[in-house]
């Protein structure tokens, strides 16, 4: 279960970083924005790994002997993408107004990685519903905090969160591959 919590923290870093960016723009009431970001990001981050889990469940029999390599590759790609994004401009820089449509797009964009990471849940001995609940709840909390961190401090923490999340996902990939 510790692996799931570490995975949840790593996956929530994307949503945290975007929440920091949104909080730094602060075009609406901070508490409202924090709730909006938390619900959207938490819900999508919790649902997408479940989709990845069931998708992986369907193919795990065909690729069982290579599953560790596939999981490692996915986590390496996701982690590498997060590290790359940590050194480039975030999408929230271009947002003029925060609407439900914008939040939906951001929630989908930040949770696509979680869907791919959901495949790795097939390799862990965990209940996928509990694991996805932990991922969603963790993302909810990190997104809530991210809005307030962004409001108070600006975007200086945004790229560091994405970098941290990427490194952790790569480390989990190596753990799956080696153990």
Whether the predicted pLDDT of 23 surpasses 80: yes
List phi, psi (to 5°) of 94: -90, 0
To 10 degrees, what angle do helices 158-178 and 2-25 make? 160
- Per-residue pLDDT averaged across 48-71, rounded? 82
Structural domain count of the chain: 1
Give the span between the Cα atoms of 159 and 168, in whole angstroms. 14
| Predicted pLDDT at 21 | 83
pLDDT in tens, 141-161: 999 999 999 888 876 666 777
Domain residue limits at 129:
2-178
To 10 degrees, what angle do helices 158-178 and 67-86 make? 160
Q: Please, are residues 135 and 49 in contact by the beta-carbon 8 Å criterion?
A: yes
pLDDT in tens, 42-52: 999 999 999 99
Q: Please, are residues 128 and 121 in contact by the beta-carbon 8 Å criterion?
A: yes
Q: Which residue has the higher pLDDT, 154 or 117?
A: 117
Residue 95 confidence class, pLDDT cut points 50, 70, 90? low
């Amino acid at each position: 279960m510790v692996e799931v919590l570490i995975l949840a923290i790593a996956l929530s870093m994307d949503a945290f970083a975007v929440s920091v960016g949104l909080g730094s723009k602060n075009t609406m009431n901070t508490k409202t924005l924090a709730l909006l970001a938390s619900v959207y990001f938490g819900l999508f981050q919790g649902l997408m790994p479940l989709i990845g889990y069931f998708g992986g469940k369907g193919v795990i029999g065909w690729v069982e002997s290579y599953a560790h390599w596939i999981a490692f590759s996915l986590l390496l790609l996701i982690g590498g993408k997060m590290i790359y994004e940590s050194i480039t401009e975030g999408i929230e820089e271009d947002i003029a107004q925060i609407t439900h449509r914008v939040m939906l797009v951001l929630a989908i964009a930040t949770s696509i990685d979680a869907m791919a990471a959901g495949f790795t849940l097939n390799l862990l001995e965990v209940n996928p519903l509990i694991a996805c609940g932990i991922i969603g709840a963790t993302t909810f909390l990190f997104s809530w905090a991210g809005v307030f961190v962004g409001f108070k401090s600006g975007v200086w923490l945004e790229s560091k969160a994405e970098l941290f999340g990427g490194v952790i996902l790569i480390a989990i990939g190596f753990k799956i591959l080696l153990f």
